[in-house]
Structure 1
Amino acid sequence: MAIEFNQDISTTKLLMAYNNNIVLLKSTSALIALTCEITLFGKVAIIYPSPSGDFFFNIKDYVTAAINTKNFADDLVTDIDSGDASTFTYDVSDGCYIANVINFKIIFKDNSYETITKSLKFLAGAEQLETYKKNEMLIADSDYLVLSPVQNRSNNTVDLKFWSGYPFEFSFYTNFPDDDFKLKNTTNALDYTFTAKGDVTALYFGDGRTDVSIEDILPLDLGLNVLRIEHDATLMDPIINLTKMDSDCGVYIKWLNKYGRWNYWLFSEQHFRNRGSRYMAELDNDNDNLEDTISPTLQIGKTTQDTLKCFYKKLDQADKTVVDGLSEAIKIMLFVGERYSRSSVNDWIEVTIKSNSFVMRKPNTKFYEMEVDFELPIRYGQQL
């Protein structure tokens, strides 16, 4: 007798925590199965069989509770030093990645039982049905995965933009979390060897300073740089089309993408800043005769909030694939630090999007214009 899975789940692929992860199992024993006890992420779930003896279980609710250890906050403190290549990579697995051995225990009427275990690994991300059907998603069983949306009709090519003078990184998952890897710039035939720091590693290009950046050890051309990752003399799947942009003033944003890591974008300096305000409530203060009355009501306070109306005038399809992630991002951060200066976690504030409609596709259009309203935190003010 044994436990068999009529609907199984992969132990080799990187699974998305925020999609359904369903198993359907049963015992081949002739004994009557009463319950299935599932131990996962420090919890125990007890489920009961269907009339046919099958046990149905969705791991989603348990893994999403376990993986989100930081409420998606980015609290990483960097200390980049051009003289030490190890300072360009950081372990960012916590809050983004989790692995767990899940134990399934079917208990029979005579108190005997059978067990089976599965080792699973999850990313704090989600795939959509349409892109899944088109295979426009990460190669889930690859040894290296760059955690950014892939190109249209691709499963291994990502497009990124890097503005010098602003903090920037990209993150990748690897099956070799402690190994060296070579980042090859195929555009200028230069490369450099770095060390991965965890299952999910962030490779920083800079923290805003121009005198300390990845370009000190791996120069980039202005414009397109095609980057590849090499491990143990073998070229890995990801293709990274990194465009180095001219540095400029503007509204710099990062947001949590669908794979649980960050994308970055610089909107135009030509933006609007509007402030909305409204009175909160008022109290009746009409307690005197007319000649003694100054204010028949008392205002409790006022709520004020600023909105940034930002623009980007020429988005091609590759750009749009990245920036479209703003429409679904659960966390968006606005950079309030100084360009060309060393940044820290305190140089970002969380904002939200006021826009509730996004043009995802327009017929006969090669380039798109984007307009986004970012709502800043509610301003502090005096209140009764």
Structure 2
Amino acid sequence: MIQFVTPIDAGKLRMAYNNDILRFYSDSTDPALYADVTLSETSAILMVGTEPKTYFTIRLYPNPQGQFYLNLQPYVAATLNTRNFEDTLQTSLAAGNSSSFTYAFSNGTLLNGVLKINVTHKTAEADSVTNTLVWLGGTQQFGDYSRLATSDLLMLSPTKKNTVNEYYLKYWQGYPFDISVLDYNASLIARRNFTVVNQTNALTTTLSPKGNITRITFSDGRTDETPETLLPLAEGTNKLKVSTSATRQRWVHIEKVPYCEGVYLKWLNAMGGYSYWLFEDTYAIDRSTKYNDEIDRNNDNLENSFGRTVQTGKESRDTLKIIAELLTEDERRIVEGILDSPKIYLFTGKPLSQNSYRSWIEVTLKTGSARLKNPKQPLTNFTFDIELPIRFTQTL
């Protein structure tokens, strides 16, 4: 029989970008030759008559004590990340159709599969064990770890300080905005609708899920085609209770802000969802240029030449210097996530009008450090340098 040094917690929601160590051995008296570890898709997502897809198979050999060691993290992350963190969700919101406000987001964000370990011995029959495991495309840090269960209802956003079931988000009118909700269910049939209650004004609506992770879209930029036709939000703070049952519920504090101008960014946060923030309109733009290569042209007399070399062209790039001022603790917990994010987008569309995923461009964070907390100031200020894509120029 296969024994684990640390038992596998099958009910845990595992983070695909944290270590996921397995240590195991066989208690058989016959020495183990090797072990095969295989992850395959679950039967719940198969069509009748089809075989499960194998995500990966790894062969391990025991140490002198007969134990096996494996870190699943790099294999799981490579399997899960099918879209390179890119956000290509195209929405089509319609005020009269509540289903148009929810979209599937499991692909590239959630992976569930059957992990089978098979140990082969010299002469005895092989030992095997299987577990169904679930990974989220996120990460947790030292000092901020809490066990998440596959049975939990989760918002893929930072939680409020010292809570596990409350969230704070900020929503600027006229800009695209959504919330990602995880409600894992191994069955593709027994889906539970989301009941959303605005406890600020006592209004309620029901939204249909789209898989294990659903993005509830509040706006594509328009103010007339939004879920607010079903669940109005007051300016200021709205406390929403999102639930699928009496025991599966979360509270989201959404601060609704009237339209204003600024630099609007979104980025992949540590939970695998997207965070949004409108930075102050007091931004600066710097353009840096440099020459590319030179071609030697020192092949004529002085009076017949323009110079000894020819420039092939220039490289040009803009940098935005953006500011977020006087952030509260809850606001800071959102904005600081941009420092660790592998994918950042700048909104280039038109506010107060319909936008698509093509209304964003990928940018990079040039700023390498920031002070997250100042003991002399209760509120936090951030200044970031955002590099835009290299500009097109005429080159040889």
Do these two structures clear the TM 0.5 threshold for a shared fold by scoring above it? Answer: yes
Deviation by residue 1:138-181 (Cα, 9 ceiling, x = unmatched): 74344311011112222222211001111100101103472212
For the residues of structure 1 that align with 2:132 and 2:59, how far apart are their CA atoms?
Answer: 19
Residue matched to 1:154: 163
Shift of 1:95: 0.5
2:212 to 199, 203, 222: 199
Residue matched to 2:43: none
Residue matched to 2:290: 278
Residue matched to 2:320: 308
Shift of 1:221: 1.1
Secondary structure of the residue that 1:131 maps to in structure 2? Answer: coil
For the residues of structure 1 that align with 2:148 and 2:155, how far apart are their CA atoms?
Answer: 10
Shift of 1:8: 2.4
Could you tell me which runs of 5 or more consecutive residues in structure 2 were left unpaired when the two chains were aligned.
41-53
For the residues of structure 1 that align with 2:7 and 2:80, how far apart are their CA atoms?
Answer: 21
Deviation by residue 1:232-270 (Cα, 9 ceiling, x = unmatched): 3x1534221110012111111000001111000001122
Larger CA deviation: 366-375 vs 141-150: 141-150
Residue matched to 1:354: 366
Do 2:196 and 2:205's aligned partners in 1 also have CA atoms closer than 8 Å?
A: yes
Do 1:352 and 1:375's aligned partners in 2 also have CA atoms closer than 8 Å?
A: yes
For the residues of structure 2 that align with 1:122 and 1:273, how far apart are their CA atoms?
Answer: 40
Secondary structure of the residue that 1:265 maps to in structure 2? Answer: strand
For the residues of structure 2 that align with 1:221 and 1:364, how far apart are their CA atoms?
Answer: 34
Matched, 1:236 2:248: yes
Matched, 1:267 2:266: no
Residue matched to 1:299: 311
For the residues of structure 1 that align with 2:114 and 2:79, how far apart are their CA atoms?
Answer: 13
For the residues of structure 2 that align with 1:289 and 1:332, how far apart are their CA atoms?
Answer: 53
Do 1:228 and 1:236's aligned partners in 2 also have CA atoms closer than 8 Å?
A: no
For the residues of structure 2 that align with 1:181 and 1:93, how far apart are their CA atoms?
Answer: 16
Deviation by residue 1:58-93 (Cα, 9 ceiling, x = unmatched): 111110110000001111111111101011111110
1:140 to 145, 149, 162: 149
Shift of 1:377: 0.1
For the residues of structure 1 that align with 2:57 and 2:151, how far apart are their CA atoms?
Answer: 31
For the residues of structure 2 that align with 1:284 and 1:61, how far apart are their CA atoms?
Answer: 47
2:221 to 199, 208, 215: 208
2:377 to 362, 365, 371: 365
Q: CA RMSD in A?
A: 1.4
Matched, 1:381 2:393: yes
Q: Write the letter of the residue equivalent to 1:165.
A: G
Secondary structure of the residue that 1:383 maps to in structure 2? Answer: coil
Larger CA deviation: 211-220 vs 288-297: 288-297
Q: Write the letter of the residue equivalent to 1:30.
A: T
For the residues of structure 1 that align with 2:148 and 2:301, how far apart are their CA atoms?
Answer: 78
Q: Write the letter of the residue equivalent to 2:95.
A: S
Do 1:229 and 1:235's aligned partners in 2 also have CA atoms closer than 8 Å?
A: no
Shift of 1:344: 0.5
Shift of 1:32: 1.3
Q: Write the letter of the residue equivalent to 1:82.
A: A
For the residues of structure 2 that align with 1:326 and 1:9, how far apart are their CA atoms?
Answer: 33
For the residues of structure 2 that align with 1:104 and 1:125, how far apart are their CA atoms?
Answer: 25
Shift of 1:207: 0.7
For the residues of structure 1 that align with 2:23 and 2:15, how far apart are their CA atoms?
Answer: 18
Secondary structure of the residue that 2:83 maps to in structure 1? Answer: coil
Distance 1:235 1:103, change over 3 A: closer
Do 2:38 and 2:115's aligned partners in 1 also have CA atoms closer than 8 Å?
A: yes
Shift of 1:220: 0.5
Larger CA deviation: 222-231 vs 323-332: 222-231
Matched, 1:65 2:74: no
Residue matched to 1:183: 196
Do 1:142 and 1:237's aligned partners in 2 also have CA atoms closer than 8 Å?
A: no
Residue matched to 2:94: 81
Secondary structure of the residue that 1:187 maps to in structure 2? Answer: coil
> Moved runs in structure 1, 4+ residues, more than 6 A?
none
Residue matched to 1:169: 178
1:127 to 124, 127, 140: 140
Report the TM-score, using the length of structure 1 for normalisation: 0.95
Residue matched to 1:25: 24
For the residues of structure 1 that align with 2:328 and 2:242, how far apart are their CA atoms?
Answer: 25
Distance 1:167 1:249, change over 3 A: same
Q: Write the letter of the residue equivalent to 1:195.
A: S
Matched, 1:44 2:57: yes
Do 2:118 and 2:128's aligned partners in 1 also have CA atoms closer than 8 Å?
A: yes
Do 2:195 and 2:244's aligned partners in 1 also have CA atoms closer than 8 Å?
A: yes
Residue matched to 2:46: none
Do 2:324 and 2:382's aligned partners in 1 also have CA atoms closer than 8 Å?
A: yes
For the residues of structure 2 that align with 1:84 and 1:307, how far apart are their CA atoms?
Answer: 41
Could you tell me which runs of 5 or more consecutive residues in structure 1 were left unpaired when the two chains were aligned.
none
Shift of 1:123: 0.5
Residue matched to 2:49: none
For the residues of structure 1 that align with 2:359 and 2:280, how far apart are their CA atoms?
Answer: 19
For the residues of structure 2 that align with 1:286 and 1:50, how far apart are their CA atoms?
Answer: 66
For the residues of structure 1 that align with 2:300 and 2:385, how far apart are their CA atoms?
Answer: 46
Q: Write the letter of the residue equivalent to 1:168.
A: F
Q: Write the letter of the residue equivalent to 1:271.
A: Y
Shift of 1:188: 1.3
